[in-house]
A and B are shown apart, each in its own frame.
Chain A
Amino acid sequence: MCLPNIKMINPKIKFLNVTKSYDNNSKNEVILQDLSFEIYAEEFVCILGPSGSGKTTVLGLVAGFIKPSSGNVLFNSKDIIRPDSSRTLVFQEYALFPWLNILDNVAFGLTTKNHKNNYAREKASEYLNLVGLSAYEDHSVSQLSGGMKQRVAIARALAVDPEVLLLDEPFGALDQQTRESMQTELTRLMTKTKKTVLFVTHSVDEALKLADRILIIGGKPGKLLFDTTIAATRPRDLNNYQLVTIRNKILDKLSQPDLFMGSDI
């Protein structure tokens, strides 16, 4: 009898030799090439990379909007066929439903077939409370600030109790101060709810502050360039010796110019 090895647990998400290409004006454009990695339950993974490196495509593949051209994207060891509420996505531009008030936005997923329950609003109310916006239940979307909208979007994504939370540069449109408080907030929420998180960003510091593990995707076409685990406890001081070392490694990876031809950084 041997002790269970962490690698023996099935990964939550598994990319197996994934290539994604689009036909663009009769030219075949490869976005991701031969991407393989595994993400385990309750990991908080940040995907770093310059714009146009295919980070968002990775999220689209996991969410199920996009199908790989070749290779497999597995969720709980099964191929991902279509989007469903076990993997919810938070967008940079919030994508809240403007015709619903805040509470009904959060309750939206709870009105669908799989989650149909009469307590949708009560449950939504709990999640709204979790992100500290109980007082805004009846407000309309346009009355909220950017940071508040993103809190609502996160509450909405968590309300259906997904296994994986996907975030696509969620704080990219926010000012620095709001951004920092949202990072703290997200860390708190994730420690509490214990979700597997895939967080796309192009800010190195954001990744260092949040992640258990950082993946760098870069180049044309996008490949996995770097994979590291961060063991430092939270809240993190970015001047911590270990983090500085990792940051230098990351910056080193990101500054190899030949990998980022055609990107906008």
Chain B
Amino acid sequence: MKITLIRVAFFILLFSIWYLVEKLGHIPSYILPSPLSVIESFYHGFLKGGYTTAIFSSLIRVLIGYFMALGIGIITGILLARYYILDVTFGKIILALQSIPSVAWVPLALLWFGITDSAVIFIIILEAVLPVTLSTRNAMKNIPPNLIRAAQTLGSKGLHLYQNVIIKAMIPELVTGLRLSWAFAWRALIAGELFISGSGIGQTLELGRSLADMSEVIAMITTIGVIGFLTENIFFGTIEKRVRLAWGLQ
């Protein structure tokens, strides 16, 4: 309770400073808009429905890319864990790929897919597939061998062994991979959307830039931050915490 109060006070202080700097510094609104005009942007954006549509289209894009990435990543991860030769060849490339930021893929994606949704989804998949691949691979390799042996001597084999031991033992590490992948997907989404047409958070941000409407830009940045925080920390964070607790890791 006390912490909440301190937090609220902190945010009020932050907004007051922002407000005062803008007011007293006579800074033009295309450089730094006042917090009130950002709130106004939000009000109009949501009232007229523009922001709602943008957020909705963006979420659809990121979810399509994310789930495709999960499918590809989990299968690739299992293959890497099972086949040594794949691991030493393809597995190494994956580590290198992970150091490439998503914007670096934009020129290629635009060339191949044009300024369409497919280009963004392509970039999202490229980014999000890596963490989930690596965590699936590691999760599979790190199953304590004695857990599998114990299950086998108790009569578990085949499908029963996979369902009740192998997959269960992989879950904590897998969940971390799912969260990381989501974080990557979310960042790739915004980077990609800056370059394509249609409705979306990134497009609205880019539109704000071209119209020198900085309050819209800041409104979109805030939206990205809030949705990112809610999904990464609140949604995935809670799942991860619960899983770790249930698996006795905390």
A residues engaging B (CB < 8 A)? 63-65, 82-85, 87-89, 91, 93, 95-99, 108-109, 111-115, 140-142, 153, 156-157, 160, 166
CB distance from B165 to the nearest CB of A (A): 7
Q: Is the interface of B mostly helix, strand, loop or mixed?
A: helix
Give the interface centre of A89, A93, A109, A112 by most chain B CB atoms within 10 Å.
A112
8 contacts between A and B (CB under 8 A): A63-B152, A99-B247, A109-B155, A112-B154, A113-B155, A114-B155, A115-B155, A141-B248
Whether the Cβ atoms of A112 and B153 lie closer than 8 Å is no
CB distance from A42 to the nearest CB of B (A): 20
B108 at the binding interface (Cβ < 8 Å):
no
B115 at the binding interface (Cβ < 8 Å):
no
Whether the Cβ atoms of A83 and B153 lie closer than 8 Å is yes
B78 at the binding interface (Cβ < 8 Å):
no
B164 at the binding interface (Cβ < 8 Å):
yes
Q: Mark B235-250, 1 if CB is under 8 A from A, else 0.
A: 0000000000011110
CB distance from B94 to the nearest CB of A (A): 28
Cβ contacts under 8 Å, B160 to chain A: 111-113
Instruction: Return the contact of A140 from the options B146, B152, B248 (Cβ within 8 A).
Output: B248
B171 at the binding interface (Cβ < 8 Å):
yes
Whether the Cβ atoms of A85 and B153 lie closer than 8 Å is yes
B residues engaging A (CB < 8 A)? 144, 146-147, 149-157, 160, 164-165, 168-169, 171, 246-249
Cβ contacts under 8 Å, B246 to chain A: 99, 140
Considering only CB atoms, which chain A residue lies closest to B243 in the complex?
A99
Cβ contacts under 8 Å, A89 to chain B: 149-150, 153
Cβ contacts under 8 Å, A140 to chain B: 246, 248
Q: How far is the CA of A216 from the CA of B206 in the complex (A)?
A: 78
Instruction: Return the contact of B155 from the options A96, A97, A112, A153 (Cβ within 8 A).
Output: A112
Cβ contacts under 8 Å, B147 to chain A: 95, 97
Q: How far is the CA of A108 from the CA of B164 in the complex (A)?
A: 9
Q: How far is the CA of A149 from the CA of B152 in the complex (A)?
A: 19
Question: Beyond A83-B152, A97-B147, is A111–B164 a contact (Cβ under 8 Å)?
Answer: yes
Q: How far is the CA of A84 from the CA of B169 in the complex (A)?
A: 21
Whether the Cβ atoms of A65 and B152 lie closer than 8 Å is yes
Instruction: Return the contact of B168 from the options A87, A97, A142 (Cβ within 8 A).
Output: A97
Instruction: Return the contact of A142 from the options B155, B165, B169, B248 (Cβ within 8 A).
Output: B248
Whether the Cβ atoms of B248 and A93 lie closer than 8 Å is no
Give the interface centre of A63, A84, A95 by most chain B CB atoms within 10 Å.
A95
Considering only CB atoms, which chain A residue lies closest to B171 in the complex?
A99
Cβ contacts under 8 Å, B149 to chain A: 63, 65, 83, 89, 91, 95
Q: How far is the CA of A98 from the CA of B144 in the complex (A)?
A: 12
Q: How far is the CA of A85 from the CA of B144 in the complex (A)?
A: 20
Cβ contacts under 8 Å, B146 to chain A: 91, 93, 95
Cβ contacts under 8 Å, B171 to chain A: 99
Q: How far is the CA of A115 from the CA of B150 in the complex (A)?
A: 16
CB distance from A240 to the nearest CB of B (A): 35
Known: A65-B152, A85-B154, A114-B155. 18 other contacts (CB 8 A): A63-B152, A83-B149, A84-B152, A84-B153, A89-B153, A91-B149, A95-B144, A95-B147, A95-B150, A108-B156, A108-B164, A109-B155, A112-B154, A140-B246, A140-B248, A153-B150, A156-B150, A166-B153
Cβ contacts under 8 Å, A97 to chain B: 147, 150-151, 165, 168
Q: How far is the CA of A95 from the CA of B249 in the complex (A)?
A: 15
Q: How far is the CA of A82 from the CA of B147 in the complex (A)?
A: 16
Q: How far is the CA of A114 from the CA of B144 in the complex (A)?
A: 25
Whether the Cβ atoms of A91 and B150 lie closer than 8 Å is yes
Give the interface centre of B146, B165, B168 by most chain A CB atoms within 10 Å.
B146
Cβ contacts under 8 Å, B154 to chain A: 85, 88, 108-109, 112, 156-157, 160
Q: How far is the CA of A88 from the CA of B151 in the complex (A)?
A: 9
Considering only CB atoms, which chain B residue lies closest to A86 in the complex?
B155
Q: How far is the CA of A42 from the CA of B64 in the complex (A)?
A: 61
Cβ contacts under 8 Å, B150 to chain A: 89, 91, 95-97, 153, 156
Give the interface centre of B149, B155, B160, B246 by most chain A CB atoms within 10 Å.
B155
Whether the Cβ atoms of A112 and B156 lie closer than 8 Å is yes
Considering only CB atoms, which chain B residue lies closest to A156 in the complex?
B154
Cβ contacts under 8 Å, B248 to chain A: 98, 140-142
Considering only CB atoms, which chain A residue lies closest to B152 in the complex?
A83
Q: How far is the CA of A32 from the CA of B150 in the complex (A)?
A: 23
